[in-house]
Amino acid sequence: MFNPTRLVAVLTLLSVVAVAQQPQFTYLRFNEDLGNLTWNDAAMASNNATLGGTASFGFQRLGCSSLVAGMTSSSRCETGRSINFTGDFTIECWVRYSSTSTSTGAIYAFGSSTTGSFRCFRGGAAGVDGLLLRLPNGGDTTITGVTADTWHHVAWTYDESALEVTPFLNGVAQPAQPVTAAIDLSTWLTSTLCVGGHTSSNSWDGQIDEFRFWTEERSASDIMNLMLREIDPNVVMRLNGQ
10-residue mean pLDDT profile of the chain (242 residues): values are 48 42 91 90 85 82 80 79 90 90 75 78 88 93 95 98 98 97 86 78 83 96 95 58 43
Which long-range CB contacts under 8 A does 133-136 form with residues at least 24 apart? 133/91, 133/165, 133/167, 135/165, 135/179, 135/183, 135/188, 136/179, 136/183, 136/184, 136/188
pLDDT of residue 24: 92
pLDDT of residue 11: 41
What's the CATH fold of domain 23-226? Jelly Rolls (2.60.120)
Burial class (CB in 10 A: 0-12, 13-18, 19+), 147: exposed
pLDDT of residue 176: 97
pLDDT of residue 58: 84
pLDDT of residue 234: 67
pLDDT of residue 114: 67
Q: What are phi and psi of 11, to 5 degrees?
A: -65, -40
CB count, 10 Å around CB of 190? 15
pLDDT of residue 229: 92
pLDDT of residue 68: 82
Let me know: does 90 contact 155? Beta carbons within 8 Å: yes
pLDDT of residue 23: 93
Let me know: does 78 contact 194? Beta carbons within 8 Å: yes
Closest CA to 206 of 45, 76, 36, 92: 76
pLDDT of residue 9: 44
How much is the pTM?
0.86
pLDDT of residue 242: 43
pLDDT of residue 225: 95
pLDDT of residue 17: 41
